[in-house]
Chains A and B, each alone.
Chain A
Amino acid sequence: MRALRIFAKDLRAYYLKAPVLSWGILFPVTVMALMSLNMRMFGESRVVPAMFSITLLFASSSMAQVAISFEKLSGALARILYLPLTGADLVLAKSLGGIAYGIGGAGVAALVSYIVAGHLVMIRPLYFILGVVLGAVVYSLISVLIAFYYDPVHAVAVLNIVRFSMVFLGGILFPKAFMPPRLAWLAYLFPSVYVTEVIRFGMYNTWDYIDPYTSLIVLAIAIAALAYASARIIIRILTP
């Protein structure tokens, strides 16, 4: 399968390099340190799922930058255009890195928090896993789309705006009750709120903005729409 071949090549060329890998370990540790400060303010069932959600978001959306922006600069992406690949091949290939990395990052975060905190609440592991996997897919797709669409310099900026909007407005960091009513509805525009609620439900059996079942449906639809749209437009973007 073509997408897997590209993924395997990216793995060898970029993903398994030390600087890239260390980010995946450093990041959750840093987030956890920051989060533990917030623990008392918002409570464990807000803070711990948020930590997983942030780790997932940053890990799964970082790879596209590496594999797409870098290849744009080196000209390799233009070279790939001469190969018989479809938009779907490219989107899938470039998303797999982020998906794998996001899931791995969440795994590392789980391990680290278990070791540091001594316990890990996981009432419905299946939902936790679903949340992590769907989250990795949706974040990775978004970052792939951004990296393909924008030139390398702008892609980083756009990606960061999107990511930080998700963290602060997208239902990851702040409980609904804490948000000004005029801003609270914004959360529903971001996939992060659904990812975070499914993860929260998996861990603590509660939810805040929206119930986990609706969240799963919204996420499934969002992923299908994003995958379809990006497969359609990627070739358009790359062949002027």
Chain B
Amino acid sequence: MKRYGDTYALKGLSFTVARGEVYGLLGPNGAGKTTTLRAIAGALRPTRGRILVEGVDPAREPLRVKRLVGVVPELPSLFPELTVRDNLEFIAGIYGFSRSEARRRARETAEALGLGDYLGVRYGRLSKGLKRRVDIAAALIHDPPILLLDEPTSGLDVIAASRLRERIAALARQGKTVVLSSHYIEEVMALADRALILYRGSKIVEGTPAMLRRVLSKKRVTIYYTGEPPQSLSVEAREALGAYGVEDLKIERGALSFKASRTVEALEASIRLLRERGLRVVDVEVLPPSWDDVFKAHIEAAGGRAACPCGGRAG
């Protein structure tokens, strides 16, 4: 638990990350993602509760934990006045590597992240995407088994973000344990083996992407037909489908669509209805729910108001 004055930044949060796993922390701004990561990294003391990183409590032995984890903070925060090389060598030096070892590590880590050409460029002059990559290099310079990434792609354009995701996936394949926060549901789902949804400092749900996706999820069903629908179709459809958890029912000329949790039954019932009214069903489309829908559903089920997870800066 973490409290700031009267505000609970984290409350009753508990989870375990397995070695080698990619674990996602998903939540809207202010949910407590950064607070969680900082507490794991030993840069913040929980008001109550305990964290263990490879058996070491970061609140008690922050220096030991800091050697086990590499952190990519929410905002680019290396030294803008220094070059990429100087930044990386400085950080390697803090971890206690000799000058020549620091130099070697800086070069190799930078090259591994495709930063070889930028070693002599000042950090402050790099694009956001490149800064992020340097941040990752800095977090990896001491070859930690655990990597904490706080909203790594926020503020990047689509292409830079997807490249960065590939790099993160590659690190996971190399055996790093990765804990990643994001308010983009797609990102966590694309990268994480398991994830939890964090809302107002508490865990809403935890599981594999498929589980998170299935639970409470409603698929969008569209049935295409030909023929002239009777005026009463809308009312009749509402009656026929009410039992199957149908929402957002729309009837247009040529298409009937809704969101449903019991998809198969709702689909059968609506096809039957359309045929009884003399219409010809020509096609059926069932789309998986968007991650935003899943996210909102989880939050609503937990009694919170749905916050749009789809934009804005992180807190």
Identify the closest chain A residue to B69 (Cβ): A82
Residue B45 at the chain A interface, CB threshold 8 Å: yes
Q: Quick check: is A240 within 8 A (CB to CB) of the other chain?
A: yes
A window 9-28: CB within 8 A of B: 9, 12-14
> Is B24 on the interface with A (CB-CB < 8 A)?
no
From B41, B42, B78, B90, name the one whose CB has the most chain A CB atoms within 10 angstroms: B90
The answer to whether B44 touches A239 (Cβ under 8 A) is yes
A-B contact count (CB 8 A): 67
Q: Among the listed B62, B63, B79, B95, which residue makes an inter-chain contact with A76, where contact means beta carbons less than 8 Å apart? A: B79
A82 near B90: Cβ-Cβ < 8 Å: no
In the complex, the chain B residue whose C-beta lies closest to that of A236 is: B45
Give chain A nearest CB distance to B135 CB in angstroms. 9
Determine the distance from Cα of A210 to Cα of B4 in the docked complex, in whole angstroms: 47
Which of A12, A71, A84, A240 has a CB less than 8 Å from the CB of B67? A84
Asked if B73 is an interface residue, CB under 8 A from chain A, the answer is yes
> In this assembly, does A182 line the interface, its C-beta being within 8 Å of a C-beta of chain B?
no
Interface SS majority for chain B: loop
The one of A2, A12, A75 that contacts B94, using a Cβ cutoff of 8 Å: A2
Knowing A5-B94, A81-B43, A82-B41 touch, does A12 contact B63 (C-beta < 8 A)?
no
Pick the contact of A75: B62, B73, B86 (CB < 8 A): B73
Majority SS of interface residues in chain A? Answer: helix
Q: Are B67 and A9 in contact (CB under 8 A)?
A: no
B81 and A14 form a contact (CB under 8 A): yes
User: Which B residues, 102 to 127, have Cβ-Cβ distances below 8 Å to chain A?
Assistant: none
Counting CB contacts under 8 A, is B289 at the interface? no
Question: Could you list some 30 contacts between A and B, CB below 8 A?
Answer: A2-B93, A2-B96, A5-B94, A6-B90, A9-B82, A13-B82, A74-B79, A75-B73, A75-B77, A76-B77, A76-B78, A76-B79, A78-B73, A78-B77, A79-B73, A79-B77, A81-B43, A82-B43, A82-B69, A82-B71, A83-B91, A83-B94, A84-B63, A84-B94, A84-B96, A86-B63, A235-B62, A239-B43, A239-B44, A240-B4
Apart from A84-B96, A86-B63, list 14 A-B contacts with CB within 8 A.
A2-B93, A9-B90, A12-B86, A74-B77, A75-B73, A75-B76, A76-B78, A78-B43, A82-B41, A84-B66, A235-B62, A239-B44, A240-B4, A240-B44
B residues neighboring A (CB under 8 Å): 4, 41-45, 62-63, 66-67, 69, 71, 73, 75-82, 86, 90-91, 93-96, 139
